Each structure stands twice: as C-alpha cells, then as structure tokens.
C-alpha cells in the first residue's frame, strides 16, 4: 500500500503546531528531533522534516505529496501546487514599514526608495501592481535592522505582534498580505494517495472545527428558552432538557470561539445561569 509523504518544517515557528495537528489527527510520529524522515505507526504516511522554504518545490516535484507551511512562503515561491486547507495557526502579515519619525504620505512614498526584504517576489509583485519604482534589497534575515544601519529606507517583513518593528523604531504603514499556515498538495496525486489525503483532510477539518468551537451547557427558566435559542444557533438546534426544579430547563449547544464572550453576555442578560463551557475534543459533522 502506498504512503502519503507529508513535509513539515523541521524546526521553527510552524514545527510544534504542525506536529500537534498530525497528532490530533491520530498520526503518531515515532521519531524525535534530529531525523529527516519518520514513518507514522498507525496511518499510511511518512513525515519529512524540511526547511519551510524548500517545501513548495519538493511538493511541486512530488518529493513530498503534501506540505504544511505559511501562505506567505507558498506565494513567495510561486510553485505549481494546490492550497488544500487553511489551518488557522501561525497567523501573521507581510507589511511595509518605515522609520517612526518619517511622515507617511501613501504608497507613492516608496518611489525611488530602497526596501529591504526576504520576500522579494511578493514585494516586487506589490510594487508593480501599484506602479511604484523602488529598489529591493534582498536579505535572508534580520531585515528590521536595515534602516537603522543605513542599508535601506524601509522594510517589507512578516509582522505578528508588532513588537519587533516597535523595538527597531519602525512603523507599519501598508499590509501586503495576510498569512496563516496552510496545507499544500501536489497537483498530480494518484487515486490511492488522494484517498489517503481525503482521509487526512477529513480529520484535519474535524480538529479545526473542534478548536474553533466550544460546548456550552446552561440552566434557564423555560420562559427564556426561545430567546436563548435565538442566541445559540448551535450545529442544529440546541438540546433542551427539563430540570427537576419546576419551570427550569438545561440547554446544551455549540458556540464559536470567536464570538463566545458576546454570546455569554447576551445569555446572562436573557436569564441563563450556571453556564459551563467545555472544550470539544473532535467535531465530526
């Protein structure tokens, strides 16, 4: 039987989340750090540990069948691969930044400026789409120090919290791209590999959904049930169970993590009590 070759980052910001995702999908990685390849014991997959920059090329050439990496690298490398699923971690953005004391006058500011970056492909695409003529200074790291040492007038770099820009006296002025970790796949997988891949993607979606949702239980007076049901759309309709105490019932439902606090406030206003919120292990629809 064939095995799906999955490339993940060897060591870096994506490694731990990538390993955890596979683990949550029931794929046990037997070997620890220091190896380049390992076999999953209980799933037809081999894992390759690579530098993230190499993953798009290896997937295009089918050295690996699929890979997990940042969208920014996928677009930067511009290889012929499919983006199969967004994974919701390693969220960041590729932005242009200039010294804090300089007044920003709009995209034209960058005309005839020198911009340091390790994302020359995405930057030059942005510049030509906006008719800006600037010089790109390609660096492989420590881009944020370039303006301070006189190497560039601006930078184009990955920003997450913004503290690196802040520490280096820079202000973020334009976001070129929002990025998160994604799964990419080779375009010519045979049927057998596609079958393994669809099994994996099914599990990944279940894990993602469980991370994005919480299970909620609460008690409420029966008279408030309709209003509470409208606050809790749930997967289908909420489960409503009678309580021993007359006139009261218990409601169970699923809420999305992102609007969770707003819903809790609305529920309390509607008369809900004893609210319990529980993480979901797996969510299969």
Residues making contact with ligand PRT (CB under 6 A):
9, 12-14, 51-53, 70, 72-73, 90, 92, 144, 157-164, 179
Burial class of residue 81 (count of CB atoms within 10 Å of its CB; 0-12, 13-18, 19+): buried
Closest to Zn ion by CB, 53 or 125: 53
Cβ contact 6:48 at 8 Å:
yes
Q: How far is the CB of 56 from ligand PRT (least distance, A)?
A: 11
Closest to Zn ion by CB, 9 or 168: 9
- Cα distance between the two ends of the chain: 29
Residue 157 near which of ligand PRT, Zn ion, none (CB within 5-8 Å, type-dependent): ligand PRT
- Does position 52 bind Zn ion by CB under 5 A? yes
Residue 234 structure tokens:
């749930």
Closest to Zn ion by CB, 78 or 223: 78
Residue 163 near which of ligand PRT, Zn ion, none (CB within 5-8 Å, type-dependent): ligand PRT
Closest to Zn ion by CB, 52 or 153: 52
* Upper half-sphere CA count for residue 134 (Cβ side, 13 Å): 30
Sequence-ordered list of residues with C-beta below 8 angstroms from that of 188, at least 6 positions apart, any chain: 62
Cα–Cα distance list, 172 to 89, 202, 227 (Å): 22, 38, 44
Q: Angle at CA 161, nearest 5°, toward 159 and 165?
A: 60
User: Given the rule CB under 5 A, which of 51-59, 103-111, 154-162, 223-231 is the region that contacts Zn ion?
Assistant: 51-59
Residue 90 near which of Zn ion, ligand PRT, none (CB within 5-8 Å, type-dependent): ligand PRT
Pairing of strands 135-138, 248-256: unpaired
Point out which residues pair with 249 in neighbouring strands: 220, 242
Q: How far is the CB of 83 from ligand PRT (least distance, A)?
A: 13
The SS3 assignment for 142 reads coil
- Phi, psi (5° rounding) for residue 118? -105, 15
Size of the site for Zn ion (CB under 5 A): 2
Residue 179 near which of Zn ion, ligand PRT, none (CB within 5-8 Å, type-dependent): ligand PRT
User: Given the rule CB under 5 A, which of 15-23, 48-56, 75-83, 176-184 is the region that contacts Zn ion?
Assistant: 48-56
Q: Is the dihedral of CA 166, 114, 78, 128 positive or negative?
A: positive
Residue 13 near which of Zn ion, ligand PRT, none (CB within 5-8 Å, type-dependent): ligand PRT
Residue 38 near which of ligand PRT, Zn ion, none (CB within 5-8 Å, type-dependent): none
Residue 117 near which of Zn ion, ligand PRT, none (CB within 5-8 Å, type-dependent): none
- Does position 71 bind Zn ion by CB under 5 A? no
Q: Give the residue closest to ligand PRT by C-beta.
A: 70
Cα gap 158→118, rounded to integer Å: 9
Closest to ligand PRT by CB, 105 or 167: 167
Cβ contact 190:152 at 8 Å:
no
């Amino acid at each position: 039987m064939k095995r799906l070759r999955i490339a993940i980052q060897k060591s870096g910001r994506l490694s731990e989340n990538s390993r955890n995702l596979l683990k949550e999908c029931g794929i046990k990685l037997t070997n620890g750090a220091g190896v380049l390849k390992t076999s999953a014991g209980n799933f037809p997959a081999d894992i390759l540990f690579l530098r993230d920059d190499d993953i798009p090329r290896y997937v295009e050439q089918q050295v690996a069948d699929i890979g997990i990496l940042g969208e920014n690298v996928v677009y930067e490398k511009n290889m012929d691969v499919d983006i199969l699923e967004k994974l919701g971690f390693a969220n960041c953005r590729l932005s242009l930044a200039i010294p804090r004391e300089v007044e920003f006058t709009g995209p034209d500011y960058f005309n005839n400026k020198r911009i340091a970056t390790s994302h020359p492909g995405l930057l030059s695409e942005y510049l030509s789409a906006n008719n800006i003529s600037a010089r790109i200074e390609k660096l492989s790291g420590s881009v944020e120090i370039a303006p301070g040492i006189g190497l560039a007038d601006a930078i184009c770099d990955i920003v997450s919290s913004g503290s690196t820009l802040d520490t280096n006296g820079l202000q973020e002025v334009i976001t070129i791209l929002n990025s998160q970790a994604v799964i990419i796949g080779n375009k010519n997988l045979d049927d057998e590999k596609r079958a393994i891949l669809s099994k994996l993607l099914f599990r990944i979606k279940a894990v993602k959904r469980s991370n994005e949702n919480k299970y909620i239980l609460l008690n409420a007076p029966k008279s408030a049930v309709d209003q509470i049901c409208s606050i809790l759309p749930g997967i289908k309709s909420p489960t409503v169970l009678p309580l021993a105490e007359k006139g009261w019932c218990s409601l169970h439902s699923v809420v999305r993590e992102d609007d969770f606090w707003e819903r809790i406030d609305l529920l309390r206003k509607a008369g809900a009590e004893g609210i319990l919120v529980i993480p979901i292990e797996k969510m299969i629809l």
